[in-house]
Amino acid sequence: MGKPFADLPVELHLQIFKECIKQRSISMLYLNKALYDELVAELYDFHVFRITVDPSAADFRIALFDGTKHFLPAHSDHIREPACLVGKKIPFDKLKEIRIDILPPDRREPAQLICAWMQITRLLVWLLPQPKAVSPPLSETQIKPAPNNTGLHLPHVHVSFLEQESRRWQKSIAATAGQPEMIDLNVLLSAFRRIRYAQRLSVTIPDGCKTDHLSEYCSETECLATMQSPFGSQPGDSRIQSIEDILHTTLEGVLDDLPGPLAAQLRLERFASWCSQYEDCHQRRISGSTYADRPGHFGGIPNAAMRRQRDRSFKDRFDGVVMYSLAVSKARSPLPWHEQWAAVFPNGIPPKSSEEYLDMLNSEDGISAMLAGLMVRAVDANNRLRLRFPCCQEAGSA
């Protein structure tokens, strides 16, 4: 009633500021330094960092904040900072909560599970600490904070698997004969077992999906997240990484022949963003990575026969990407490399066993591609990028 705002009681400042935060406005912090010092702690304590993973989202992106303007790009293994956070750091450990809402894949588009897996695993690469070297880290000196985090720690992380009237969690395309009850939710939940340094992790699943096995799996995942040691330093971490590697390669193999327009676009994205990093990730997932100072391998596919089979499948995929790359190069379009792919193959890449794929493979261009593939395999890794895929140079410069 006539008093300057700064003279109002602290309790009123906080009440008004909380309402401002709900409206995504924090301009009160900039009125003066005294108000900033008084309110900034409240900003962190009250703020929930909301992330929405929707496998039907355009461009395979992940919604951040209010889900309307800010996104994490997830179409490539080259993880880039969200545009709104370039050059910025967030003290995630001071926030009230990180909430990750995951929508189920649409049963009419089975490739949406692969899209969701891609979104979640790449989200976690952006959110979690990363090793400084290729070897699994054994201590905190061997890891570094995530690109936009000021430290290693996270606040309470709440993962919520949602359902909608027309979209329910269903049996997974990644299920095997030994896992008859495996649903898409199991697959996606396994990615969160690499979280460490969290104040707390909680998982919410729909009542219709609850089983004793899944509840136990959730409890184990919640306990793992609060461990104060790098992922890779504990004996059980290799097993967790191995399961994730098997799921990665399984879903990659399923994608090769999966029907539907989304699967065709996912294959296009994979080919258009193919690079040495993608190849290196695949080889690590097949064979695991070596420790710096202890015998054995970390992660990877334990069965030698499965490793050979999936390595052969990858070589077939490599022949395909070289073949299609030649077709894109012949277009000589002034567009950027990724957009050239979309222009030349507007309907995406057909399944590997389709007549269209086989016709191109047996064409004159296909035979040239095979010879080019053999030549490329004979050169060293540095020249391999320069000779083969312009997209690698674009990603590196970005």
CA distance 194 to 152: 13
Query: Is 6 part of any domain?
Result: no
Residue 382 confidence (pLDDT) above 90:
no
Res 367 pLDDT > 50 = yes
Task: State how far Cα 159 lies from the chain centre.
Answer: 15
Whether residue 97 is found in the same domain as residue 209: yes
Q: Is residue 287 in some structural domain?
A: yes
Whether 286 and 356 share a structural domain? yes
Residue 353 reports pLDDT greater than 60 = yes
Angle at which helix 237-256 crosses helix 276-287, to 10 degrees, equals 120
Based on the structure, what is the number of domains in the chain? Answer: 3
Tokens of 161: 């698997």
* Residue 373 covered by a domain: yes
Does residue 308 belong to any structural domain of this protein?
Answer: yes
Domain co-membership, 64 together with 89? yes
Residue 148 domain flag: yes
Contact 241, 299 (CB under 8 A): yes
Average pLDDT over residues 273-287: 88
353 and 322 in a single domain? The answer is: yes
Residue 20 in this model has a pLDDT that exceeds 80: no
The pLDDT tens digits of the residues spanning 49-83 come to 899 999 998 778 899 876 667 899 888 878 888 88
Q: What is the pLDDT of residues 247-270, one digit of tens each?
A: 999 999 999 999 999 999 999 999
Q: Which tokens go with 99?
A: 């909430």
77 and 173 in a single domain? The answer is yes
Residue 241 falls within a domain, yes or no?
no
Is 369 within a domain?
A: yes
Distances (CA, A) of 180 to 171, 172, 173, 242: 8, 9, 11, 20
- 206: Cβ contacts below 8 Å, ≥ 6 apart: 161, 162, 163, 168, 169
Asked if residue 106 and residue 201 are part of one domain, the reply reads yes
Rounded distance, CA 51 to CA 71, Å? 9
Count of beta carbons in the 10 Å neighbourhood of residue 254: 17
What is the Cα–Cα distance from 243 to 301, expressed in whole angstroms?
8
Domain range holding 155? 54-234
Measured distance CA(149)–CA(128) in Å, rounded: 9
